[in-house]
């Protein structure tokens, strides 16, 4: 059974619209992340949440808003979509380490491929 579920697998949107990308993890992890992968850039960190609190936001645009309704959910709302937002968005999760040197592995979901026309 998949441990990290991302829905939908594919998404086509028109410029200016709003979409929500869903992520659920069943690994019992307390930290969740969003990354973006496009043809122009490698896998790029966007957000991290720990115990449902935002820890880091590396996304310049406020059009991207993570939403965590439950400990194992971290959805990504994208508003005013632009063609440049076309990419594959990956959700990941990990168990926060016990100390700064204990970096636990991040596990990635299968991704949502977004195409903005």
**Measured between alpha carbons, how far is 117 from 112 in angstroms, rounded to an integer?**
16
Kindly tell me which of 14 and 101 has the beta carbon lying closer to another protein: 101
In terms of DSSP H, where are the helices of the chain? none
- CB 109, min distance to another protein, A: 5
Q: Which chain residues interact with another protein by CB under 8 A?
A: 4, 31, 33, 35, 42-45, 48, 50, 55-56, 58, 90, 92, 94, 96, 100-101, 103, 105-111
Give the position of tokens 């869903």.
Answer: 22
**Measured between alpha carbons, how far is 83 from 9 in angstroms, rounded to an integer?**
18
Kindly tell me which of 50 and 65 has the beta carbon lying closer to another protein: 50
Q: Answer whether the bond into residue 8 is a cis peptide, omega within 30°.
A: yes
- CB 11, min distance to another protein, A: 15
- CB 99, min distance to another protein, A: 9
């Amino acid at each position: 059974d998949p441990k990290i579920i991302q829905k939908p697998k594919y998404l086509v949107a028109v410029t200016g619209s709003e979409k929500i990308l869903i992520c659920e993890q069943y690994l019992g992890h307390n930290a969740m992340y969003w990354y973006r992968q496009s043809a122009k850039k490698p896998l790029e960190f966007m957000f991290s949440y720990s115990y449902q609190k935002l820890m880091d936001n590396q996304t310049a645009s406020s059009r991207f808003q993570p939403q965590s309704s439950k400990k194992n959910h971290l959805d990504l709302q994208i508003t005013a979509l632009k063609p440049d937002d076309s990419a594959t968005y990956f959700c990941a999760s990990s168990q926060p380490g016990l100390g700064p040197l204990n970096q636990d592995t991040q596990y990635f979901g299968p991704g949502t491929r977004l195409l903005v026309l």
